[in-house]
């Protein structure tokens, strides 16, 4: 028996838990409040995609006249799907890696239409290992089954979303309410059976649903309806990303037939106060609430009467993944692209370096809401403490930092802290393409275990980047992505089209910029999305400033995406297919030579971008500027100094050979003996494991106590050789 049951409703990710309930459970632990958490999505998926689940799905005969040819093929091969499904799921869970050889034989899995793309992707298999290739084939197999389920069992099904359409821009609750009031679907039946059993086992007094996306909303309401019907004594609450952005103006009382409370923004304090309210209901005095909707006197009211401040990030505890079935998640690879697969392949512990966004200016972003507006970083020490704790409790050393934009200075400190503790971790995060990401910083991040970053290039047009107030230029993005790539860190770019006032020429030019960046090898992955105007962004709050006219409706339920008309009158949606098809090719390293016109079935203008624009952005002279405030790190202790003697024309020249053994190569330089002695001492005093930091100016003063002209020494060829190999980093 637990006080609280925390639920992520279907569906989010297949490969790793969505972290919200783990964050909340970690906080509740600090308050000695007992809780149980479950990812209802993965449990439903595993029931559906099992021998028993497929037998039920295939038990209904299909009408061959109204069914697609693809469905007819899958139904005909149903025995093969039923026979193989449990083995495929076990393989994707990492339990039977030897099955990869059978899967890759191309004579084990039944194949339907999803496998038609294999001919187009055969080139990619040469760059994929046996396990990755098998995961990709198994993913296509599951997607074939998903297509069948959508056509014959439940049209709303999706691996990472369910009935998403009902939650998107649902200004009225009518359609969703009608769906909830109607008959349950096959997938509803599976979901509610699992939930009913869990409620009887846990016996909570309060059930809290974390609803991050529109694709979780319908299932959350379905589950809440079951609780109200069969467990009326249990209180229900909703929080998470969807209500935080969409339900800030909810007025429809029918919503509260299912949920007693809806909380907004950071959930720790609101949930603690709900706990006190539910468990101390008989105590006198006015109850305190924090950012909570509820019904009183048959009216929806918003209560925020607590004067207690929200908890600092340092005080909310370490996320706790206890109760979640971590060994049951399945890794899938939808696209044969190493960077793109990070979202779906592998189990990642989720952490946040900083709450909110340190930039907080982008005009398309919800910068008026707390999850962006309230910026609060965590100290590197606390963060790495949490990493070590999670490694012990989950057995996983992979981390995805889910920041809006991880701060470069904090990333540097986290990397140094990881190196000081000799931790072996693999991590990735989201960033802004700041000029602070120098070659040296990128190399340091790589040494600490960073394998990838994602960031918003948005519209690759300097005019529109200025309008977005992105604070970057295309040239800057090119240089930063080059720095990451040269350090061995993969990059994913979020790309946007259809921003207010964007012209057709700018869309074509943006595509050309992206093409050149992929061709230069400085981008590895990307995703185009069409601009959406949200109610809490600067564009949504002041649309007339951006040349758009909102089409407003009465808000009784959800309010985030706003329909609008753009004064340009351009139908940006028609570019969607061509942009995505070209990007798919570029991500696989092919067809850069194809004219942009070939990706579209309508006339587009020629690009105005010089074909060598990105190439020329990356041409730069060596930078010999002296930056006195730069922090200098001597990255290795494997330094051997040998005093030697060089004889030339009867003269003896003493010198020191310094050899640095790196993991993959050896670097040797020759220096004056006294200068070499000084340098070796710097290696000892200012290594990456040393807490003491030294600036370049401090090094200069120290050096010039015994020698002259530090700049001549610092920019000499031998020292430059150490810098080029990442032995000395200036951050």
Measured CA to CA, the distance from residue 91 to residue 135 in angstroms comes to 8
User: Helix, strand, coil % (nearest 5) of the chain?
Assistant: 45, 15, 40
Q: Are 494 and 527 in contact (CB under 8 A)?
A: yes
Q: Quick one: tokens of 30?
A: 């600090």
Q: Where are the beta strands (DSSP E) in 223-298?
A: 235-239, 261-263, 292-296
Residue whose pair of structure tokens reads 């696209």 in the numeric block: 335
CATH class belonging to 4-41+162-311: alpha beta
Per-residue confidence (pLDDT) for residue 163, from 0 to 100:
66
Supply the Cα-derived Rg of the chain in whole angstroms: 29
pLDDT digits (tens, 9 = 90+) for 667-683: 999 999 999 999 998 88
CATH topology of domain 333-617: pyruvate-formate lyase- activating enzyme (3.80.30)
Q: What is the DSSP letter of 184?
A: P
Measured CA to CA, the distance from residue 670 to residue 100 in angstroms comes to 51
Q: Are 57 and 66 in contact (CB under 8 A)?
A: no
Per-residue confidence (pLDDT) for residue 177, from 0 to 100:
93
User: Is residue 354 left, alpha or beta, with left meaning phi > 0 and alpha meaning psi from -120 to 50?
Assistant: beta
Q: What percent of the chain has pLDDT over 90?
A: 75
List Cα–Cα distances, 649 to 387, 653, 654, 671, 687, in angstroms: 60, 10, 14, 20, 40
Phi, psi at residue 595, to the nearest 5°? -60, 145
Angle at which helices 40-48 and 51-58 cross, to 10°: 60
Measured CA to CA, the distance from residue 722 to residue 440 in angstroms comes to 12
Give the residue among 421, 413, 367, 433 at the shortest CA–CA distance from 397.
421
Residue 622 has pLDDT above 60, yes or no: no
Measured CA to CA, the distance from residue 423 to residue 291 in angstroms comes to 40
- Predicted structure pTM score: 0.92
Residue 218 has pLDDT above 80, yes or no: yes
Per-residue confidence (pLDDT) for residue 329, from 0 to 100:
96
Same fold, 4-41+162-311 and 333-617: no
With cut-offs at 50, 70 and 90, classify the pLDDT of residue 265. Answer: very high
pLDDT digits (tens, 9 = 90+) for 357-412: 999 999 999 999 999 999 999 999 999 999 999 999 999 999 999 999 999 999 99
Per-residue confidence (pLDDT) for residue 172, from 0 to 100:
87
**pLDDT mean over 629-645:** 86
Residue 617 has pLDDT above 80, yes or no: yes
Q: Quick one: tokens of 602?
A: 């309508």
Residue whose pair of structure tokens reads 């040469």 in the numeric block: 126
Per-residue confidence (pLDDT) for residue 168, from 0 to 100:
65
pLDDT digits (tens, 9 = 90+) for 546-584: 888 888 777 778 788 888 888 888 999 999 999 999 999
pLDDT digits (tens, 9 = 90+) for 123-171: 555 556 889 999 999 999 999 999 999 999 999 998 887 766 666 657 8
Mean pLDDT of the chain: 92
Structural domain boundaries of the chain?
A: 4-41+162-311, 61-152, 333-617, 631-730
Instruction: Indicate the range of 115-119, 604-608, 656-660, 707-711 predicted with least confidence.
Output: 115-119
pLDDT digits (tens, 9 = 90+) for 273-326: 999 999 876 565 678 999 999 999 999 999 999 999 999 999 999 999 999 999
Q: Are 430 and 405 in contact (CB under 8 A)?
A: yes
Report the half-sphere exposure of 722 (CA within 13 A, side-chain side). Answer: 30
Give the residue among 458, 5, 473 at the shortest CA–CA distance from 194.
5
Cβ atoms within 10 A of the Cβ of 441, count? 22
Per-residue confidence (pLDDT) for residue 625, from 0 to 100:
77
3-state secondary structure of 679: helix
Q: Are strands 426-431 and 398-401 parallel, antiparallel or unpaired?
A: parallel
Measured CA to CA, the distance from residue 88 to residue 96 in angstroms comes to 9
Would you say the C-alpha torsion 309, 310, 315, 317 has a positive or negative sign? positive
Per-residue confidence (pLDDT) for residue 428, from 0 to 100:
97
pLDDT digits (tens, 9 = 90+) for 230-242: 999 999 999 999 9
């Amino acid at each position: 028996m637990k006080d609280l049951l925390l639920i992520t409703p279907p569906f989010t990710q297949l490969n790793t838990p969505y972290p919200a309930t783990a964050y909340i459970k970690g906080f509740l632990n600090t308050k000695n409040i007992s809780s149980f958490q479950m990812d209802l999505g993965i449990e439903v998926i595993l029931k559906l995609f099992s021998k028993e689940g497929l037998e039920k799905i295939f038990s209904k005969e299909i009408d061959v006249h109204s069914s697609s040819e693809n469905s007819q093929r899958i139904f005909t091969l149903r025995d093969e799907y039923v026979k193989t499904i449990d083995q495929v799921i076990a393989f994707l869970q990492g339990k039977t890696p030897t099955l990869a050889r059978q899967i890759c034989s191309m004579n084990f899995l039944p194949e339907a239409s999803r496998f038609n793309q294999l001919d187009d992707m055969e080139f990619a298999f040469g760059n994929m290992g046996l396990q990755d290739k098998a995961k990709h084939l198994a993913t296509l197999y599951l997607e074939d089954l998903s297509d069948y389920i959508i056509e014959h069992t439940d049209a709303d099904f999706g691996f990472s979303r369910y009935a998403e359409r009902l939650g998107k821009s649902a200004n009225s609750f009518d359609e969703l309410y009608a769906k909830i009031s109607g008959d349950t679907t096959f997938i509803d039946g599976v979901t509610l059976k699992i939930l009913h059993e869990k409620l009887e086992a846990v016996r909570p007094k309060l059930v809290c649903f974390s609803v991050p996306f529109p694709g979780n909303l319908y299932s959350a309401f379905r589950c809440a309806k079951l609780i109200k019907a069969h467990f009326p004594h249990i209180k229900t609450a909703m929080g998470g990303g969807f209500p935080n952005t969409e339900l800030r103006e909810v007025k429809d009382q029918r919503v509260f037939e299912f949920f007693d409370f809806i909380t907004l923004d950071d959930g720790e304090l609101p949930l603690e106060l709900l706990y006190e309210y539910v468990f101390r209901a008989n105590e006198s005095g006015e109850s305190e609430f924090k950012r909570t909707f509820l019904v009183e006197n048959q009216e929806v009211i918003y209560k925020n009467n607590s004067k207690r401040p929200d908890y600092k990030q340092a005080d909310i505890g370490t996320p706790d993944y206890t109760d979640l079935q971590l060994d049951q998640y399945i890794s899938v690879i939808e696209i044969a692209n190493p960077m793109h697969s990070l979202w779906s392949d592998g189990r990642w512990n989720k952490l946040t370096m900083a709450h909110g966004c340190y930039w907080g200016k982008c005009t398309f972003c919800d910068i008026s809401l707390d999850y962006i507006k309230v910026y609060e970083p965590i100290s590197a020490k606390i963060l790495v403490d949490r990493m070590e704790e999670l490694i012990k409790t989950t057995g996983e050393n992979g981390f995805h930092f889910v920041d809006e934009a991880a701060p470069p200075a904090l990333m540097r400190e986290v990397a140094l802290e990881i190196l000081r503790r000799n931790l072996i971790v693999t991590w990735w995060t989201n960033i802004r393409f700041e000029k602070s990401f120098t070659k040296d910083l990128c190399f340091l991040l790589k040494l600490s275990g960073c394998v990838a970053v994602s960031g918003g290039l948005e519209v690759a047009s300097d005019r529109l980047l200025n309008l977005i107030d992105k604070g970057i230029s295309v040239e800057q993005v090119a240089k930063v992505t080059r720095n990451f790539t040269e350090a061995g860190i993969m990059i994913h770019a979020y790309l946007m089209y259809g921003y207010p006032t964007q012209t057709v020429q700018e869309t074509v030019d943006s595509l050309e910029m992206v093409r050149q960046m992929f061709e230069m090898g400085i981008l590895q992955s990307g995703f185009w999305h069409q601009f959406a105007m949200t109610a809490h962004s600067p564009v949504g709050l002041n649309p007339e400033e951006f040349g758009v006219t909102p089409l407003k409706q009465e808000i009784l339920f959800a309010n985030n995406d706003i329909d609008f008309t753009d004064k340009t009158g351009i139908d940006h949606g028609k570019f969607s297919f061509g942009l995505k098809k070209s990007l798919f090719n570029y991500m696989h390293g092919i067809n850069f030579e194809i004219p942009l016109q070939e990706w579209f079935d309508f006339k587009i203008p020629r690009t105005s971008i010089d074909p060598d624009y990105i190439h020329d952005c990356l041409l730069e002279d060596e930078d010999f500027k002296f930056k006195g405030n730069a922090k200098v790190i001597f990255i290795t202790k494997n330094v051997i100094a040998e005093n030697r003697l060089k004889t030339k024309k009867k003269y003896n020249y003493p010198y020191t050979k310094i050899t640095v053994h790196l993991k993959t190569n050896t670097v040797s330089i020759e220096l004056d003996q006294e200068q070499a002695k000084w340098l070796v001492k710097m290696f000892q005093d200012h290594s990456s494991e040393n807490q003491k930091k030294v600036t370049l100016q401090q090094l200069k003063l120290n050096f010039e106590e015994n020698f002259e002209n530090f700049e001549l020494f610092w920019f000499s060829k031998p020292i430059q050789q150490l810098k080029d190999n990442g032995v000395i980093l200036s951050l």
